Amino acid sequence: MFRKFLIALSLANLCFYNVICILCYQRTFYVKYLPTANSYLALIINELLVAALR
């Protein structure tokens, strides 16, 4: 079961690829407002929820 969760988590990372690029690589993309700690926390929670629901 743990192996299936890890596979689902890796697929969730692929789903959120664009969001990760915007949050982590700020020099590459134009970002009007810098991301806050809440933005990173929301990304982590969303990934875990998507992985848990698969």
What is the DSSP code (8-state) at residue 22? H
**Model confidence pLDDT, tens digit, residues 2-35:** 898 888 888 888 888 888 887 777 665 666 777 7
Choice between 24 and 47, residue whose per-residue pLDDT is larger: 47
Q: How many residues does the chain have?
A: 54
On whether the CB atoms of residues 10 and 45 are closer than 8 A, the answer is no
pLDDT at residue 16 in the model: 84
Note the pTM of the prediction, 2 decimals: 0.62
pLDDT at residue 29 in the model: 60
Q: Which sequence spans correspond to the domains of the chain?
A: 1-36
